[in-house]
Chain A
Amino acid sequence: MIPAGTAVGRSVVRPDLAAKLSGAAVYGADLPVAGVLHVKLLRSVVAHARIAAVDPAAALEVPGVVAVVTAADLVDLDATWGHYVRDRPIFADGVVRFAGEIVAAVAAETEEAAAAAVTTIEVEYDELPALLDVAAAAAPGAARVHDRAPRPGFACPPGTELGMDNAFYHHGLQHERVAEVDEAGAVVVQHEYIFPAVYQYAMEPHVVVASWEPDGISVHSSCQHPFLVRQELATVFGLPLERVRVRVPFVGGGFGSKSYTKMEPVAVAVARAVGRPVRLVNRVEDAMVTTRRHGMRCRMRTAVRPDGRFVSRQAWIWMDTGAYADNGPTVTMVAGMAAVGPYRWDRVDIDAACVYTHLPPSGSYRGFGAAHLQWVGESQVDEVAALLGIDRLELRLRNLLDRGETLIPGQRPLDADLAGDLREVAKRLDWGGALPAWRGRGISVGVSPAGVSARSAARVELRPDGRVMVLVGSQEIGQGARTVHAQIAAEVLGLGMERVVVLPTDTDHTPYDRSTGASRSTTVAGLAVQRASERLRTALLAAAAEHGGVPVDELTLRDGRISTGKRSWDIAELAAAGPIGADGDASELTGAGPALFWEVCVAGAEVSVDPETGLVEVPRVVTVADVGRAVNPSLVERQDEGCTLQVIGNAFFEEMRFSEDGVLLNDSLLDYRVPTLTDVPAEMICVIVENGDGPGPFGAKGCGEGVFGGLTAALVSAVTDAGVPVRELPMSPDRVWRWIQQTTSDTAPG
């Protein structure tokens, strides 16, 4: 524990709490917009087809309908988008590649008219065979989902190879510390694993208000990455960045579902066609086919010497990115890294492939990559431990990397004490204690690259009313970014929290921030806030010195007052003639590859399996928030608890189910079960570890996503420990029950 400062290190209440609880917070669907038209989308009902005809005549007859917009209205544009691969038409152009793809949009004076009209548009599809299984799509000779060579999007890293096959992107990791082959006596485990497609479920689905004005595009969007949305819209609609303005109202959750661009291009396209502002509000069933988590198949092999020293790991991974790439290549890269595990291997050989299928597109979701692969690698570690008769914790501790060692060549070295984290978990799980039958404990360790980019800037201004305004482009999506940024500014400037206001993002005024994701808001954007606040502090003290004719080093700044020892005055007086501002950024953060720091994914769990029903209960979970410095300990704990609940859903019951034709079957919350309070584990222990070793402000590093890798793996480990080997998620009762029957019949005397 590091002693708390005046603001940092304290569990201050979120400044936006009252607005959210009282309903005063204005979300995208609530924004008052004069003359706004309502948009409803017609989505494909088939997974793969040629569009033979679209007939909007009946829709145009519906009273209140202003326009029906299709690809035919965008022929003057290069109307495709995608930040990594520019592969996605705004409206299906001749071909639909997934059930749910946008075919047409209706703009009407009322939502009712738009909804009524959209059902009357007639579309004639010539159906084509659909590739729904990632392995089939990646197989040699499979038909191509896209027949044109992939075009890199504006955010595709230079030099990235994009291939023509459905497996269009590969992330390979091959390194050797010891160039040998696995020795003859090595213990080898090798299996195939399956991970389901799931839905992020932010409580507020995507909302966009867009207008096409003489001087450019104006958008209000519930998005996580407004500056990248601006860049995407400028690219697609052929405008300079300065003529695209993106503003972000209150956002009702993200979890990655609102990262990058989602509904903005189609909303802008409709606004452009009708010449009036439009509002597009996704329903859950729309959101579920807008973005989801990648389903995955994987084959992994682990070899270990009989004395327990890890030798080699190989993995072949296929990530189902659906019909369009979205952020699939990044997810695939992180998945490949997660397959390695933070261990000292002689040899590593990983191939992670991002694969097109005819399913809805997949993108970012909290903890991506680590959620997919950590459980796979860790279950092989458990299996090896069982084969060698070595305790699972002991085997991990023997092979874990130490701080400063290389995880992946060319990437930032390990920057955390993983063994210490693991011991904290073991202690709280009563590791080694006896358990009754059908109960099990699991423990897991991993890391995931976080931070991604140092491109965050901030501006901090003292206003004449004595308040300090923080302009920073991180989005408040429930995680508490605004609270943390206010705490950082308050700490540096010696102010009470009530005098610090973090403003919502307007790309015309807010300094650039790459994105709200990869656990970067505290570490990267927070560092920019810290640096800007420090410069403002310096400027205020200099101004005060001049104002009072006193040397700077005789001044102190505390509780909003500058004092010389004899007299003091409120800093508001310094800004009487106008705001005083200072800028800062995070450019000092450097590092190769995507990891500005490694987010720690360490957790443990205890489970109880009902062998009669296959139902698994989770009496206890332990998560480690290895955060360097907890700027707001309460928010850190809430992050781990929220993520725990999402992990429970993903690990035990959530699963997007598609028909044999590729149509999403459980497309509403009546049919798709998300975790509720009744699924909360009886005991949730969050261990906050503060080693001051983060690159962010006050030694902080990001959190909130690591639980997805760590706890998913710990739950698999615990269920396995209870007697049920796991090769597929979710561990739903039907599967667990079947695995128990298989295990019983496998071991039954012949």
Chain B
Amino acid sequence: MLPAFTIRRPESIADACDLLAEYDGDAVAYAGGTELVVAMKLGLADYPVLVDLKGVPGLAGIAVAGGALRIGATATHQQIERSSEVAAVLPALAAVERQVANPRVRTSGTIGGNLAFGEPHSDPATFLVATNGWVSCQAPGGATRTVPAADLLAEPFQTVLAPDELIVGIEVPLPPPGSALAHRRFVLAERPAAIASVADAQNRALVRGAALHPVLADRAVALLRLAPLEQYVADVPVEQVRPRRWVEAAATDPQLHQVPPIVLLLNQAQRVHRRSALAERLVHVRGAGQDQPAQPLRLLRGCLDRHDPAEVMAEQVRLLQAEFLE
């Protein structure tokens, strides 16, 4: 059931920020509503005031400038998918957008809304991290900043944005000439268990699981070095991998905030392959039309395991260590 709310329609970005500040946590930015309204219906979010950004000037548009693709926050997934600019300079992004949810969501859902919701396995967000993208933000008083896409999430469903700060657009650096990008999704359950993006220029793999921060493979290694295994195994029951439970549990269990994201990644991982089928497909896409030989990539295999999560996870940690720490 959708709770009652009031819609406010600001005339500028500054007005929108001021409204958010004025209601002090009781208002939230709203554009496509495809994430927010679902969360409100489920009782996971409750805001008396929605600040409607759809008509606000300066938030729309898609353009290429200064070696980057710039997309306004209220551009819908469908606009990005069908944009001739995107098709010309970053066709992989158009392909990512074509995979988002369903036509109904793509028609109304926006890139800014998708990022601001902090959905931990968002396809566009994953792509943006893999491509070293940036998120441009504005706060009351006209203060602006740019946040690396990789740093946008403080935790699942929680961005680093202040409550009165808006995403105004994103920027994706154009890949060097002669390189290619690919994005593949591996869906096992209603919630995708793992998403992989690879950016050719950096030759990096990036993997996400349910309720998981975007983690670049090299960062995952670093995290793995930092924390002892036993802590992961003991602290994370498999059912809390579910995003909803995570949100509920995080509200009541301060310890859960401490769990590094890699733990959940491991929870999802079934096996580490030097050359997995997924990796090979990505490599195949990369290599297409190019002379250079495809290089093997390291990817984590994502899979839910219902039987003995702790045991499986311990095994995966050993495998990961063998793979990354040797």
Contacts and interface: CB of A to CB of B under 8 A. Distances in A.
A653 interface: yes
Interface string A621-654: 0000000000000000000000000000000010
B38 to A, nearest CB: 7
Main SS of the interface on chain B? loop
Nearest to B41: A283
B256 interface: no
B190 A666 contact: yes
B189 A670 contact: no
Contacts of B270: 734, 737
A657 interface: yes
A732 interface: yes
Contacts of B151: none
Interface in B191-248: 191, 239, 242-245
B67 interface: no
B186 A669 contact: no
Contacts of A672: 190
Question: Which bracket fits the contact residues of B?
Answer: 20 to 34
B172 to A, nearest CB: 27
A670 B246 CA distance: 14
Contacts, number: 56
B251 interface: no
Interface string A652-685: 0100010100000110111111001000000000
B277 A610 contact: yes
B188 interface: yes
Contacts of B89: none
B18 to A, nearest CB: 29
Interface in B285-304: 301, 303-304
B54 interface: no
B322 interface: no
Contacts of A666: 189-190, 242
Contacts of A491: none
Contact of A670 (B38, B276, B277, B305): B38
Q: Which of A115, A659, A732, A733 has the most CB of B within 10 A?
A: A733
B189 A653 contact: yes
Given A668-B42, A670-B244, A734-B305, A612 B278 contact: yes
Contact of B1 (A111, A668, A732, A733): A111
A734 B271 CA distance: 11
A613 B277 CA distance: 7
B190 A670 contact: yes
A98 B189 CA distance: 25
Contacts of A670: 38, 42, 190-191, 243-244
B118 to A, nearest CB: 15
B189 A612 contact: no
B3 A112 contact: yes
Nearest to A673: B190
A244 to B, nearest CB: 30
Q: Which of B278, B303, B305 has the most CB of A within 10 A?
A: B303
Interface in B260-280: 270, 273, 276-278
Contact of B188 (A610, A612, A653, A668): A653
Contact of B4 (A112, A614, A671, A733): A112
B104 interface: no
A665 B242 contact: yes
Interface in B162-208: 186, 188-191
Nearest to B279: A612
A56 B208 CA distance: 44
Nearest to A612: B277
B242 to A, nearest CB: 6
B130 to A, nearest CB: 20
B35 to A, nearest CB: 11
Contacts of B42: 668, 670
A632 B270 CA distance: 48
A624 B277 CA distance: 36
Nearest to B303: A734
B278 A671 contact: no
Interface in B99-120: 102
Given A612-B278, A734-B305, A669 B273 contact: no
Across the A-B interface, the 9 shortest Cβ-Cβ residue pairs: A612-B277, A673-B190, A734-B303, A665-B239, A733-B188, A659-B239, A115-B1, A671-B190, A734-B305
Given A653-B189, A670-B243, A670-B244, 11 more contacts: A612-B277, A613-B276, A653-B188, A659-B239, A668-B244, A670-B38, A671-B189, A671-B190, A673-B189, A734-B270, A737-B270
7 contacts: A112-B3, A613-B278, A653-B188, A659-B239, A670-B38, A671-B242, A737-B270
